[in-house]
């Protein structure tokens, strides 16, 4: 099987012909209310530039989840008297090749370094559920966090069963601005078919805590 991933770029023809302002990353410029440079035209989705929650700069994140939430918010802002700001995205993605699952919630280490966030990473490997319960699959979790504060900046997950669940927990943690200490203490669902008393997410938190404390 050959996989060719060539990226995606909006044509922006209609927006350019209308004379709307473009942003620094080559997408349509919108403010926090998803208004374009013409206050009567709102935009969202693949064509628009939005705020990256961790980097706090405008980027294009061409994914279906952010596009749908922006669509709802833009429609509400058009119709209501008080507009609400879009809180940004961190580009959480997941993909499956046969049984293998990989996913990430960004930033990655290089992006964090370039943004001056002083990142550090840890990697852990653990089965998705208890070893004595049959059918466990190995999971690898990588955390990217800020050295001084322990704030989670991003995460990557690889494995099979249970990879999606851990990615969503980590994505929620990044969104909420949680630290690796919070991850160590997270109260996650456990019974033998689903996880361990110390979930891989808790173990990743312990490991990062140990590294920070030396
Ligand atoms: C093969 C594929 C797989 C994907 N898989 C995933 C995935 O697993 N997860 C994920 O998060 N994202 C995925 N995406 C990305 C996701 O589909 C897009 O991010 C999302 O659809 C963007 O929504 P949008 O509303 O900005 O644009 P679109 O969904 O492209 O909608 C734009 C609409 O505008 C219409 N249009 C264009 N020009 C005009 C015009 N001049 N007049 C009137 N109408 C016009 C188009 O026909 C289209 O219906 C995938 C994309 C592709 C192509």
Does 14 sit in the ligand 1 pocket, CB within 6 Å? yes
User: What tens digit of pLDDT does each residue of 141-154 get?
Assistant: 999 999 999 999 99
Could you give the 3-state DSSP secondary structure of residue 204?
Answer: helix
From ligand 1's centre to the CA of 46, what distance in Å? 7
H helices of 121-179, in order, are: 163-176
Instruction: Report the alpha-carbon distance of residue 159 to residue 144 in Å, rounded.
Output: 18
Q: Which CATH number do you get for residue 34?
A: 3.50.50.60
110 with 194, same domain?
A: yes
Structure tokens at 87: 């809180």
Q: Which of 1-5, 52-56, 87-91, 201-205 has the lowest mean pLDDT?
A: 1-5
User: What tens digit of pLDDT does each residue of 67-120 get?
Assistant: 999 999 999 999 999 999 999 999 999 999 999 999 999 999 999 999 999 999
Domain span at 42? 13-79
Does 65 sit in the ligand 1 pocket, CB within 6 Å? yes
How big is the CA angle at 118 (ends 112 and 119), to the nearest 5 degrees?
A: 60
204 with 158, same domain?
A: yes
Average pLDDT over the chain, rounded to an integer: 96
For residue 127, how many other CB atoms are within 10 A of its CB? 18
Does 135 sit in the ligand 1 pocket, CB within 6 Å? no
DSSP-derived letter for residue 132 is: T
Confirm if 73 and 34 have CB atoms less than 8 A apart. Answer: yes
At 82 the pLDDT is 95
Q: Which atom from ligand 1 is nearest to the alpha carbon of 44? A: 26
Q: Are strands 138-146 and 119-127 parallel, antiparallel or unpaired?
A: antiparallel
Does 95 sit in the ligand 1 pocket, CB within 6 Å? no
114 with 193, same domain?
A: yes
User: What tens digit of pLDDT does each residue of 152-176 get?
Assistant: 999 999 999 999 999 999 999 999 9
From ligand 1's centre to the CA of 67, what distance in Å? 9
At 1 the pLDDT is 84
pTM across the whole model: 0.94
Closest CA relative to residue 42, chosen from 62, 71, 19: 71
18 with 42, same domain?
A: yes
100 with 206, same domain?
A: yes
At 5 the pLDDT is 81
Number of domains in the chain: 2
- How many CA atoms are closer than 13 Å to the CA of 207, on its beta-carbon side? 19
Sequence-distant contacts of 128-135: CB under 8 A, at least 24 apart: 128/159, 128/160, 128/161, 128/162, 128/163, 128/166, 128/195, 128/200, 129/162, 129/192, 129/193, 129/194, 129/195, 129/196, 130/192, 130/195, 130/196, 132/192, 133/192, 133/193, 135/161
Does 23 sit in the ligand 1 pocket, CB within 6 Å? no
């Amino acid at each position: 099987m050959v996989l060719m991933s060539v990226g995606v770029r909006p044509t922006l023809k209609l927006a350019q012909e209308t004379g709307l302002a473009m942003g620094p990353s080559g997408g349509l410029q919108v403010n926090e209310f998803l208004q374009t440079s013409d206050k009567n035209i709102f935009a969202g989705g693949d064509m628009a530039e939005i705020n990256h929650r961790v980097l706090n700069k405008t980027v294009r994140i061409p994914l279906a989840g952010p596009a749908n939430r922006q669509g709802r918010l833009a429609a509400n802002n058009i119709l209501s008297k008080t507009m609400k700001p879009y809180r940004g995205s961190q580009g959480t993605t997941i993909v499956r090749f046969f049984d293998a699952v990989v996913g990430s919630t960004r930033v990655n280490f290089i992006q964090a370094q370039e943004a001056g966030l002083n990142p550090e990473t840890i990697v852990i490997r653990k089965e998705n559920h208890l070893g004595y319960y049959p059918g466990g699959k190995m999971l690898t979790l990588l955390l990217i966090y800020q050295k001084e504060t322990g704030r989670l900046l991003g995460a990557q997950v690889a494995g099979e069963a249970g990879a999606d669940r851990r990615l969503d927990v980590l994505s929620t943690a990044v969104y909420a601005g949680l630290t690796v200490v919070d991850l160590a203490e997270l109260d996650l669902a456990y019974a033998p078919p689903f996880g361990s008393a110390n979930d891989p997410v808790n173990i990743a938190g312990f490991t990062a805590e140990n590294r920070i404390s030396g």
